[in-house]
Amino acid sequence: MEFRSAQRAVLQLIEAVAPADRPALLQWMRTTRDFDEFTQDNNDIMLKNIADDLRSCLPLETMLASEPVALQKIQQQPEPTVHVDAFLYDEDFIDSLCEEGRMSRNYCTVCGSQQTAPLGFISHSFSLMELKFIYHHILPDLSGKVLVDVGSRLGTVLYGGYLYSSAVQLYGVELNGDFCQLQEMVIKKYQFSDRIKVIHADIRTQGSLLHSADVVIMNNVFEYFLNETEQASAWEYISHNLKKPGSLLVTVPSLEDSLSGLQTNIQLSSWVEEVPLNYDVYSQSDIDKEALEQIHLYKILQH
Ligand SMILES: C[S@@+](CC[C@H](N)C(=O)[O-])C[C@H]1O[C@@H](n2cnc3c(N)ncnc32)[C@H](O)[C@@H]1O
């Protein structure tokens, strides 16, 4: 059936519904996840188009001169490490860049010789697979809920939330003004502004936003971007302001790992309860299960 006939059929069906039941049907059509299976393909394509747009605005390493701390921290890793943004470059893309000689998976241990060792890769964004795991398998139905992505960078969590969830509002808080501008560009082009808002700020100034959040996402926000004293103060701020009982916190890596080595007074057992996750939801062999296992879910406790 073509679009016009399908549209007429849907309208006729709605007209045939008892008038008293129509509001409930329309409400269900606006908020249900039952249509997800019909729209997922389109949503994946839209996210891939966004990745194309962002790739054309950014250097291959997807790091900017305006983030000197992050650039320096990558250089200080014990093993030679490069940043490859997992939202912009999936494994197939990396393979084709390696074939073209524009990227390498290895570095030379003795300059000029054949002896090579694998380079360390880190990503400052979630991949498409991780986003789908979070929205389809970790989080509940987000109808009417407010989601905050702390450190929204390219905006991947926000676009994923727009397309894969029914969250009523998705807020991104990002310290770096250049990345805020990129997010604004995507929001405008793809007409996401009815549900996505980006705030150019340090999360340590956003107490009321954290109070209102039903879901907070934190993908390794501070480790590469702040020194240890600032990381500790940012975590203290989050734990004081993310207090609404029952709200959900998604982190990479676990809270224990993020806080280890930092001087804080945070008592995890009186703030949150970890919710166990099933990481075996995908059967395909090319799934990066190690990346999924870094994702943790917590529920904020009554205090
Ligand atoms: C690893 S990226 C996360 C990107 C994105 N949330 C995702 O998962 O695809 C972390 C981002 O947090 C930002 N950031 C670091 N400290 C911050 C702070 N105190 N307030 C707001 N943003 C911060 C950094 O500039 C960086 O862009």
Integer Cα distance of 81 and 28 in angstroms: 48
CA of 169 to the centre of ligand 1 (A): 19
Domain 128-300 has CATH 3.40.50.150: yes
Token pair, residue 235, equals 């975590």
Mean pLDDT for the chain overall: 91
CA dihedral (292, 184, 226, 297) positive or negative: negative
Q: Whose CA is nearest to atom 24 of ligand 1?
A: 151
Instruction: Report pLDDT digits (tens) over 130-180.
Output: 999 999 999 999 999 999 999 999 999 999 999 999 999 999 999 999 999
CA angle 93, 96, 101 (to 5 degrees): 125
Mutational test site, ligand 1, from 64, 71, 153, max ligand atoms within 8 Å of CB: 153
Using the atom order of ligand 1, give the atom closest to the CA of residue 179: 27
Contact 246, 300 (CB under 8 A): yes
Integer Cα distance of 115 and 105 in angstroms: 13
For residue 262, is pLDDT > 60? Answer: yes
HEC profile of 201-213:
CCHHHCHHHHHHC
Q: Whose CA is nearest to atom 13 of ligand 1?
A: 151
CA of 90 to the centre of ligand 1 (A): 20
CA of 216 to the centre of ligand 1 (A): 13
Q: Whose CA is nearest to atom 14 of ligand 1?
A: 151
CA of 91 to the centre of ligand 1 (A): 23
Using the atom order of ligand 1, give the atom closest to the CA of residue 125: 9
Is the bond preceding 23 in cis, omega lying within 30 degrees of 0? no
CA angle 250, 46, 122 (to 5 degrees): 45
Instruction: Report pLDDT digits (tens) over 74-125.
Output: 888 888 888 889 999 988 888 888 788 787 777 666 665 556 667 778 899 9
List the domain boundaries for the chain. Answer: 128-300
Ligand 1 binding residues, C-beta < 6 A = 124-126, 149, 151-153, 156-157, 173-176, 179, 202-204, 219-222, 225-226, 234
CA of 227 to the centre of ligand 1 (A): 14
Question: What's the confidence (pLDDT) of residue 99?
Answer: 82
Using the atom order of ligand 1, give the atom closest to the CA of residue 176: 25
CA of 213 to the centre of ligand 1 (A): 17
Instruction: Report pLDDT digits (tens) over 207-247.
Output: 999 999 999 999 999 999 999 999 999 999 999 999 999 99
Question: What's the confidence (pLDDT) of residue 117?
Answer: 67
CA of 192 to the centre of ligand 1 (A): 20
- One-letter identity of residue 129: M
Question: What's the confidence (pLDDT) of residue 149?
Answer: 98
